[in-house]
Chain A
Amino acid sequence: MRSFGERTEILRHCACRVRPAVHWYKLCLALLILPSIGLAQLNHIEMAARLLSQGQVDQAETEARQALGNPTTRALAFAMLGTIRLQEGRYEESASFLTQALALNPHLVGARTSLGNACLLQGKPELARKSFQEAVRLDPGNFNARFELAKVEASLHNYRRSLDAAGPIVAQLSGSDDGILLLATDYGSLGRQEELEALARNWEQLSAPSDESSLEFGNVLAMFGMTLEAKQIFEAEEAKIAAHPSSTLAFKLGKSYMSLGILDRAEQNFQRALDLNPACADCDQSLAEIAERQGNTEKALAFLVAAKQLAPEDPEILFEFGKVCLQRNLLEDALPALAKAAALKPERDPYVYVLASANVAQGNLSNAASLFARLLQKHPHDAVLKYSMGAVDYLQGKYAEAESSLRQSLRAQPDQVAASYYLGLTYDALGQDDRAVAVFRDLLKGHPRHAPSYVKLGSILLRQHNYDEAQQDLERAISLDSGSVQAHYQLGLLFRRLGKTAESDNQFAESRKLEAERSSQTDLKLRLLLPD
């Protein structure tokens, strides 16, 4: 399901594409509405509009400023200047000019609509909505004003209001790709499946919708569960792209397939995009994501290395790179990348969390504790964070604090294996054997296959001379995890206590063998060897 933000992005894109034509249209309307304008001054406005349409922005501005001198054309002149600024991407100035225009003449519908767009582009949707609403009030039949209002309502997740605004122009909207996109979002969000399906049929009737619109429509359908229809659209686009290769479109198609979970197709398209544009860091990142989903972290890492070389300051790439390095135990590479990502985006809690985890892996426990504490300040009752903090406290030997954090975590979320396990370890470290035993026994009731708990329980019972139960637990641990060095070692100690020398020797031998194997694997301090 696409997030609201992503859907908003789609709608904003629609607005941007329509903007230039709409502005010209609005200006013409404004010209038609206004009476009593002298021919000479109107000529300046006319000339400005003509020059603007030809792309001669500077000359258009000169003409518009000429019209400023006459009070009767001043409002239009400001409106024209506002339009010019909008075209130039200078939204704040545009809004200022348009506001001045409307102060002089509140009935300039076009200016109002343009102001709404300026507000939208400044990230002020509420103000934009007010402008569009006023434009519609002034001119209820104004298509563009209604369309803009409907779009901004949808972006604010007011889908019903969006449909209300679009109501009088639904027929027209159903005949254009942008219009269908808006209606699809509204219908889908309101669960009006039949109308959504009807739109899918309408889409098929459209003559030559753009590739981007097609992809976006497919994404909307996918978002609302019409995966078959979405896939058909994507496949059609894929055939078109094959004839007219485009890296951007291939990338977008990759994203689309990914949203459907069709990873092989997604991978093909990302690879195609990358082949067409080797500098596409996003392509590398997306390919890495697919590899990760397929469980191939080595392949993921290769792509992320490439992405990082292309975009060394991209926080998301740095984060993904660091995360995969961490999974692959490449701590010396993980830490700097994660630290940088968290520094670039300190508000991204997952970045901070994974950085903290990497610090734990590296053994920088005080750093990890500080990072977890920072997260806990924002989310003081989060069970996972409480557990993480408790585990780090334990590793630092702060057993009282560990006990407190872990108990709080378990109160918030009782069935946590890791938190319970660490609580048991904490009680053991505090010398509170009975409590430790109780915690492990409780944990094992709910998770009877948790081998480490059997090992720990067994070793405590061994210390307490409870040999029978200790033996049962240690043997159970071995049956669940035959590679547990500790289980074999503790069982060896137990057999020794019982005078079973042969059995004891066997267990010690197995423990030594496993330890040697483990050591040979961890002897290697892994580090990426990056190409020069």
Chain B
Amino acid sequence: MSLCERSNLSGSRREFLRQLGWLGSAVPASILLRGLRDAATLQRSSASPASRKPASSADHVTGFHFTDVAAQAGLGRAINVFGGGTHKRWLLEETGCGVALFDYDNDGWLDIFMVNGTRFEGISPQHQPSNFLFHNNRDGSFTDVTEKAGLLRSGWGQGCCVGDYDNDGYDDLVVTYWGGIVLYHNNGDGTFTDVTQKAGLEQNGPARRWNTGCCFVDYDRDGHLDLFVANYVNLDPQGAPQPGENQYCRYYGLSVACGPQGMGGGTNILYHNRGDGTFEDVSERSGVTIPRGPVAPISVSDQWVPVGSYGLGVCAADFDNDGWPDIYVACDSVPSRFYHNNQDGTFEELGAELGCALNENGTAQGGMGVGVGDYDCDGWLDIVKTNYADQTANLYHNNGDGTFYDAVFQAGLGINTKYLGWGVGLFDLDNDGWPDIFMSNGHVFPTVDSKRLHVTFKQGKTVYRNLGNGSFTDVTSATGPAVTQPHSSRGTAFGDFDNDGDVDVAIINMNEAPSLLRNDCLSRNNWLKVRCIGTKSNRSAVGARVRVVTGQHSQINEVMSGSSYMSQNDFRLHFGLSRASQADLVEVRWPLGLLESFKNVSANQLLVVQEGQGIIRGEKFGKR
């Protein structure tokens, strides 16, 4: 080593600091602050293939543990088909499908409906992929009854939602597509009939509409379920730019499918139920068409100005406790939409003004799925939204005055930005009385794996346990390998498929078999499920608000159609009671306003309540 070099190395601390200071100016805090704005990037998922292991002591800390039982339940052959497996040419191949957990035959056990997609190439006419309906055999297994039920159908299936639109006592099904929607009337005998045309729901416009998330909602409180359908992008694959063609078609140097940036958005739809089995399109006069998308597909290569909805996950609920349901739409790359019900058949879009459209910095994010629940048990429904990669999720805390603020950092969710989130739910997974958060994740570009980026195509789920103080802790790694097993997941539905008193999760995995995560709730906490049956209100009781009080602790939940990512959760409302052996008070506010309350309700049962009739029965569940 020469004298010269040694002199430099033995440079003073002052010199080091001078260099740091100078370099600090070259790398100012603005770069670090930009990390705050843009959020930290993905870290390469190091999850190894799932391996079975018995519950460890760590699981008892979380109180719940998930096991993927899809294969043994007979769901292994329900392979999702959605666009190219290794390369996606168009945006349409990225969105994936929804899933519904609902009891189509009213036998008290949740069945599973899985939407399916298709591909532009490589599908023979004889082997067109179809949606799936699996009947619950009540023993942990399911039987494929798709064909028998009359639900075989191919196409670019997107989402689904459930509701008894004709109040005949059997929940009906809507499936959304790129190119239309399908209303299936539940015939009550295990079969469905496509009544789309008969119901007036055919979409006959010049361009194919990209229908995505949907929900049934009795927005005008006439006792009949209306239907809201979000629209995403106005897409014409033939005219769309090719991967890599412009800046909106590149991702970290990769040529990828273009959009939604650079493209025009869709326009949301509201169908009013006339009460006679038919619907009328009231989109315009209701105000849900704001913002309206272009009539024809458009594409720009720079200076994109968003026009239209870009809606994906939707959920309707009474956010301001005025007894009238509002509608929330998670939107991609633009402000999400909050349609406030004006109680006169119209809505006003107030997302940005109310603080639930953007993040705290006023920036739009890639909104995908919506979970609704009261995470801090203050009596006001909050919203959790999943977003695109390199972004935090949102946890919009309902301030109780009609406004929200994004509490994602305060709640501890801001630590994870490495996932691209889709399905999401606020459900009490350990029955401690505080709703937890479950998110399904997966990237949109399979080609990210070809480059050593900070993201991967397949990703594990994330699970946050509610600490009961307004914050959550990430317990993903402690809830079982099924959770960390990487997939490119999309639709996610929550419900108790095995009727053992906890909340399980069904997940669509793009181009793979689904996951059915059985919750082996290890805590000895008690619970209560409430099933509401409307009489004057819609039969599904969508919009019924239930409050459960145990001691000083009060929880609320609402029967909702839709939500998560283009999916449908169990209509039975689940409440964890912790150690309480009874609910001191169960209060039901029916959609049309009737209030009924019941005291000293025993724990660990399904309470079936009928509007105006009170509790009509209680069904004891138990661990199998």
In chain B, positions 369-411 with a C-beta closer than 8 Å to chain A are 390, 401, 403, 405, 409-410
Other-chain residue from A9, A431, A463, A504 in contact with B353 (beta carbon distance below 8 A): A504
- In the bound assembly, the distance between CA atoms of A516 and B362 in angstroms comes to 11
Interface centre among B362, B390, B409 (most CB of A within 10 A): B362
Interface status of A5 (Cβ within 8 A of chain B)? yes
A525, B32: Cβ atoms closer than 8 Å: no
B247, A123: Cβ atoms closer than 8 Å: no
Interface size class, chain A: 35 or more
In chain B, positions 251-273 with a C-beta closer than 8 Å to chain A are 251-253, 261
- In the bound assembly, the distance between CA atoms of A247 and B105 in angstroms comes to 90
What is the distance, in angstroms, from B379's C-beta to the closest C-beta of chain A?
Answer: 18
- For A492, list chain B residues within 8 Å (CB): 352-353
- In the bound assembly, the distance between CA atoms of A417 and B25 in angstroms comes to 13
- For B304, list chain A residues within 8 Å (CB): 520, 523
- In the bound assembly, the distance between CA atoms of A392 and B43 in angstroms comes to 14
Interface status of A485 (Cβ within 8 A of chain B)? yes
A361, B403: Cβ atoms closer than 8 Å: no
Closest to B413 in A: A397
Other-chain residue from A323, A347, A395 in contact with B32 (beta carbon distance below 8 A): A395
Q: With A418-B29, A508-B352 known to touch, is A397 a contact of B362 (CB < 8 Å)?
A: no
Interface status of A360 (Cβ within 8 A of chain B)? yes
Interface digits, B18-36 against A, CB 8 Å rule (1 contact, 0 not)? Answer: 0111011011010111111
Closest to B13 in A: A379
B252, A332: Cβ atoms closer than 8 Å: yes
Interface status of B305 (Cβ within 8 A of chain A)? yes
A429, B410: Cβ atoms closer than 8 Å: yes
- In the bound assembly, the distance between CA atoms of A162 and B252 in angstroms comes to 60
What is the distance, in angstroms, from B467's C-beta to the closest C-beta of chain A?
Answer: 11
Closest to B408 in A: A429
Closest to B364 in A: A515
- For A350, list chain B residues within 8 Å (CB): 16, 19-20, 23
Interface status of B38 (Cβ within 8 A of chain A)? yes
Interface status of B39 (Cβ within 8 A of chain A)? yes
In chain A, positions 320-371 with a C-beta closer than 8 Å to chain B are 323, 326-327, 332, 347, 349-350, 353-354, 357-358, 360-366
- For A125, list chain B residues within 8 Å (CB): 3
Q: Considering only CB atoms and an 8 Å cut-off, how many residues of chain B contact the other chain?
A: 69
Q: With A485-B362, A504-B353 known to touch, is A524 a contact of B26 (CB < 8 Å)?
A: no
- For B405, list chain A residues within 8 Å (CB): 463, 493
- For B39, list chain A residues within 8 Å (CB): 363
B27, A357: Cβ atoms closer than 8 Å: yes
Q: With A365-B35, A421-B29, A489-B362 known to touch, is A524 a contact of B247 (CB < 8 Å)?
A: yes
- For B358, list chain A residues within 8 Å (CB): 489
B414, A366: Cβ atoms closer than 8 Å: no
Other-chain residue from A5, A395, A505 in contact with B6 (beta carbon distance below 8 A): A5
Interface status of A139 (Cβ within 8 A of chain B)? no
Interface status of A527 (Cβ within 8 A of chain B)? yes
In chain A, positions 166-197 with a C-beta closer than 8 Å to chain B are none
Interface status of A4 (Cβ within 8 A of chain B)? yes
B4, A8: Cβ atoms closer than 8 Å: yes
A384, B17: Cβ atoms closer than 8 Å: yes
Number of A-B residue pairs with CB-CB distance less than 8 Å in the complex they form: 175
Closest to B261 in A: A523
- For A511, list chain B residues within 8 Å (CB): 352, 362
Interface status of B140 (Cβ within 8 A of chain A)? no
- For A391, list chain B residues within 8 Å (CB): 29, 32
Other-chain residue from A332, A354, A382, A431 in contact with B470 (beta carbon distance below 8 A): A431
Interface status of A459 (Cβ within 8 A of chain B)? yes
B410, A431: Cβ atoms closer than 8 Å: yes
B29, A4: Cβ atoms closer than 8 Å: no
Interface status of A212 (Cβ within 8 A of chain B)? no
Interface status of A497 (Cβ within 8 A of chain B)? yes
Interface status of B207 (Cβ within 8 A of chain A)? no
B1, A123: Cβ atoms closer than 8 Å: yes
In chain B, positions 29-55 with a C-beta closer than 8 Å to chain A are 29, 31-36, 38-43
Other-chain residue from B8, B335, B355 in contact with A5 (beta carbon distance below 8 A): B8
Other-chain residue from B6, B20, B35, B417 in contact with A360 (beta carbon distance below 8 A): B35
In chain B, positions 176-208 with a C-beta closer than 8 Å to chain A are none
Closest to A488 in B: B362
Q: With A323-B23, A363-B390, A508-B352 known to touch, is A515 a contact of B4 (CB < 8 Å)?
A: no
A428, B2: Cβ atoms closer than 8 Å: no
In chain A, positions 463-503 with a C-beta closer than 8 Å to chain B are 463, 485-486, 488-490, 492-493, 496-497
Interface status of A12 (Cβ within 8 A of chain B)? yes
Q: With A362-B454, A396-B415, A525-B253 known to touch, is A428 a contact of B362 (CB < 8 Å)?
A: no
Interface status of B613 (Cβ within 8 A of chain A)? no
Interface status of B107 (Cβ within 8 A of chain A)? no
- For A486, list chain B residues within 8 Å (CB): 360-362
- In the bound assembly, the distance between CA atoms of A515 and B357 in angstroms comes to 13
Closest to B415 in A: A397
B360, A459: Cβ atoms closer than 8 Å: yes
What is the distance, in angstroms, from B175's C-beta to the closest C-beta of chain A?
Answer: 34
Interface status of B139 (Cβ within 8 A of chain A)? no
Other-chain residue from B2, B27, B35, B247 in contact with A395 (beta carbon distance below 8 A): B35
6 A-B pairs, CB-CB below 8 angstroms?
Answer: A363-B38, A395-B36, A431-B471, A452-B33, A459-B360, A485-B363
Q: Beyond A382-B20, A384-B20, A459-B360: 10 further Cβ-contacts under 8 Å?
A: A5-B7, A8-B7, A349-B16, A350-B19, A365-B35, A385-B20, A395-B35, A496-B354, A523-B247, A523-B304
Chain B residues with a Cβ under 8 A of chain A: 1-9, 11, 13, 16-17, 19-21, 23-24, 26-27, 29, 31-36, 38-43, 247-248, 250-253, 261, 302-305, 335, 352-355, 358, 360-364, 390, 401, 403, 405, 409-410, 412, 414-417, 454, 470-471
